[in-house]
Structure 1
Amino acid sequence: MTERHTTAPAATELPRLTPGPRPRRPHTVLAMSLETRDALREEGAIDLLSETADLDPDLLVTDFADPSAAEALTRAEVLLTHWGCPPLTERALAAMPRLRAVVHAAGSVKHHVTDAVWARGITVSSAAAANALPVAEYTVATILLAGKRILESARAYREQRAAYPLLPYFAGHGNYRRVVGIVGASRTGRRVIELLRPFDFTVLVHDPYLDDAGAALLGARSVGLDELTRRSHVVSIHAPQLPETHHMFDARRLGLLPDGATLINTARGSLVDTEALITHLTSGRIHAVLDVTDPEVLPAESPLYRLPNVLLTPHIAGSLGSELGRMADYAAAEISRYARGLPFAHSVGPQDLARTA
């Protein structure tokens, strides 16, 4: 269930370019959506990438069969990808005979890296470690807000516009000595645990690839998934989307959540049975923070839009705005390493995809 873990830098640290003589600038082509390229340009990330790569920021490939991109793709040594990159099929790769590396300035590569990439011996890097940081920050913020019952208290204050008895209202809530369950010791899950250390929480973690000693090093206790669900006041999901994790929170497991518990999902919507979750939420027994859903986007008539015990956000936990610059920093550092003949610091291989998001 866990992602292949490489120790991510602390939130205040950025990858550093290797000191020494200025390396060559490999010919690099941008492959992503127009919206993504423009967002990167707005944050100054394209300028940073241009310092380490020989790229034309105005040349954007959204279709590898586009004749106007043929000459640039023929010369491409590095493909800099991001959200909206088309699939790198065998046919697409045939147009890039010199391609040696794919540097993904975002998280998962599953959407565009195919078996043909590995068959060609092309190396792949991902900025998933950078994207994990804002997801973890969002998660910790919502954990703390869930303990304060922000949705209910804000709604009650708005409706009553008068003082109401705080102590009876908040009985059984708060953030002192609460149990937080982390499902998946992924990059994000580990960062969440790290960020929770200053608080007075008991942290449980479930991950089939994490033993008791590994959990203890993180500052958590390893338990089975059902036990974690039964004991936790807040359960936060950080597992990858795999066949074995589909609907891991089904009607039975959702029923194990204590009354008043909060389920947080910033991973993938398919990990939770949406209809079963709606049933539990409609009863008012539990609460939910949902940054991802199944389907995504939900139909307009979905009760999740209007239920008072649901915080529903449109997949904003990951990198947005200035946070795109962090992922670009990672990508620039990887291109610099490639240019110097060094291995990627954040490489991805075919063996990793069976355990990553």
Structure 2
Amino acid sequence: MRTILVQIPNHIVSAFMTEETKRQLQSLGHVEWNPHDRPFHKEELAEKVKGVHAVITSWRTCALDDEVLEQADQLELVAHMAGSIRPVLPTTLVYDKGIRVLNSNYAIAISVSESVLALILALGHRIVPVHGIVSTGGNAKIPAMETYELRGKTVGLVGLGMVAREVIKLLQPFGVTILGYDPFMPKEKAAELGVRLTSLQELMAASDIVSLHAPKVPTTYQMIGKQELALLRDGSMLINTARGDLIDEEALLAELRTNRFVAGLDVFVEEPLAADSEFRRLPNVIARPHLAGVNPDSRLRVGKMMVEEMARFYAGEPLTFEVKREHLAIMT
């Protein structure tokens, strides 16, 4: 019988798996649960992976580095119940050993896309400043607090991966025009998504709303800098639920001080955001502490989808959420 090792600490397994999901996992083989309320240490994991056929990882679990993988004599599958697998799989040795890799990005993309829409609507409808005025006894029925509608606007998506594609689905009822910048996306595929590909500069200048969805790789570091931010229209909106260092934060702060546009920021270069950060005080910013993708619903969806994908693997069926060698290099 195959053995499946679950790295997730014992006290939070129920956050990822319902009893039904656990039963489905146990139907796939003998499950060895992490007995600790902490991740395995490297030495523990190196010993545990001997004779194991599948390993389930998640946020902050011990990395499967070269030294650990050298001990994995029967490992054939790594299933990651979290977002990017890069933190727990810092090596391509896994592919050299013929091990298949699964990832839960899509399960999280669903939640992130809802957060993108929520930020757009909250900023457009001035939800936070209006509440601030009303809650302190003021009159918020003033021109500065009038609604900015999403309907009919031009939305620019920087990066057209899983999250962006879910955002596109949510935007459909609003009759928006969607522009996209993604050097990896063929024009024909973008057209199928209802997106017109443009240069980054054209997207920044032509969009009423810009939402960032690019991966964190060397070529995207501070891809939105002073010149790109200057192209944003007065009265426009910038959303970042991807990675903080896609933007030059000093340049962003300088532009936000002018109050030319509003921003919804879920990610920052340094997290948690410093207590004295100016981002916390700017009236034209909604700041969130990297909450867009993870919540009780998405964690359970992650567990369910990964166990279902594992079942497909062991049934010899086509996989939906496999991470190939070439994908690992551009994952955030």
Matched, 1:134 2:111: yes
Which amino acid in structure 2 is aligned with residue 120 of structure 1? K
- Aligned residue number for residue 66 of structure 1: 44
Q: Which residue of 1 aligns with 2:252?
A: 277
2:152 paired with 1:177: yes
For 1:169, the aligned partner's letter is A
For 1:156, give the aligned amino acid: I
| TM-fit CA distance, 1:185 | 0.8
Change beyond 3 A, Cα 1:62–1:44: farther
Residue 45 of structure 1, CA deviation:
4.8
Match of 2:213 in 1: 238
In structure 2, how many angstroms separate the alpha carbons of the residues matched to 1:313 and 1:146? 13
Does structure 1 retain, via aligned residues, the 8 Å contact 2:125–2:147? Answer: no
**CA shift digits 1:143-165 (9 cap, x unpaired):** 22222122232223233433633
> How far apart, CA to CA, are the structure 2 residues paired with 1:327 and 1:242?
24
Contact 1:48 1:329 in 2 (8 A): no
Distance 1:306 1:42, change over 3 A: farther
Gaps of 5+ in 1: 1-24
- Whether contact under 8 Å (1:184, 1:206) holds in the other structure is yes
Task: Find the counterpart in structure 2 of residue 5 from structure 1.
Answer: none
Instruction: Please list the CA deviations of residues 9-30 of structure 1 after superposition, one character each: whole Å capped at 9, or x if unmatched.
Output: xxxxxxxxxxxxxxxx631111
Given that 1:33 and 1:84 are in contact with CA atoms closer than 8 Å, whether structure 2 keeps it comes out as no
Counterpart check, 1:119 vs 2:96: yes
Alpha carbons of structure 1 residues 48 and 208: separation in structure 2 relative to 1, 3 Å: same
- Secondary structure of 2:242 counterpart: coil
**Could you tell me how far apart the structure 1 residues matched to 2:315 and 2:190 are?**
37
CA deviation string 1:83-111 (max 9, x = no partner)? 11222112112332111110112221111
- Most deviating of 29-38 and 239-248: 29-38
Check if 1:265 corresponds to 2:243. Answer: no
Distance in 2 (alpha carbons) for counterparts of 1:35 and 1:179: 45
TM-score, normalised via structure 1 length: 0.84
| Counterpart amino acid of residue 144 in structure 1 | L
- Unaligned runs of at least 5 residues, structure 2: none
From 231, 235, 250, the equivalent of 1:256 is: 231
8 A contact 2:253–2:279 mirrored in 1: yes
CA contact (8 A) 2:80 2:102 kept: yes
Letter of the structure 1 residue corresponding to residue 41 of structure 2: D
Partner of 1:158: 135
Contact 1:73 1:95 survives alignment (8 Å) = yes
CA contact (8 A) 1:52 1:332 kept: no
- C-alpha offsets along residues 115-167 of structure 1, whole Å, 9 cap, x if unaligned? 221222211111112211111111112222222122232223233433633xx
Q: How does 1:173-212 map to 2 (within 5 A)?
A: 173-212=148-187
Matched residue, 2:76: 100
In structure 2, what is the Cα distance between the partners aligned to 1:30 and 1:227?
A: 47
Whole-Å separation in 1 of the counterparts to 2:138 and 2:41? 55
Amino acid in the other structure paired with 1:89: D
Q: Using a 3 Å threshold, how does the CA distance of structure 1 residues 310 and 50 change in structure 2: closer, same or farther?
A: farther
CA distances 1:291-321 after superposition (whole Å, capped 9, x unpaired): 1110122222211112121111111111321
Aligned positions, number: 329
Tell me the amino acid that sits aligned with residue 80 of structure 2: H
User: Matched residue of 1:221: which SS?
Assistant: strand
> For residues 36 and 255 of structure 1, do their structure 2 counterparts lie closer, same or farther at Cα, with a shift above 3 Å needed?
farther
Q: Note closer, same or farther for the CA distance 1:184–1:282 as it changes in structure 2 (3 Å cut).
A: same
Provide the C-alpha distance between the structure 1 equivalents of 2:194 and 2:316, rounded to a whole number of angstroms.
37
Partner of 2:60: 84
Aligned pair partner of 1:306 in 281, 286, 291: 281
Distance 1:256 1:28 in 2: 52
Q: Structure 1: how far apart are the matches of 2:183 and 2:128?
A: 34
**Mapped contact 1:62–1:84 kept (Cα < 8 A):** no
Contact 1:288 1:309 in 2 (8 A): yes
Q: Secondary structure at the match of 2:30?
A: coil
Return the alpha-carbon distance in structure 2 between the equivalents of residues 48 and 146 of structure 1: 42
1:205-231 Cα distance to aligned partner (Å, 9 max, x none): 111122443222212222111111112
Name the amino acid aligned to 1:64.
Answer: K
Query: Structure 1 vs Structure 2: percent identity of aligned residues?
Result: 33
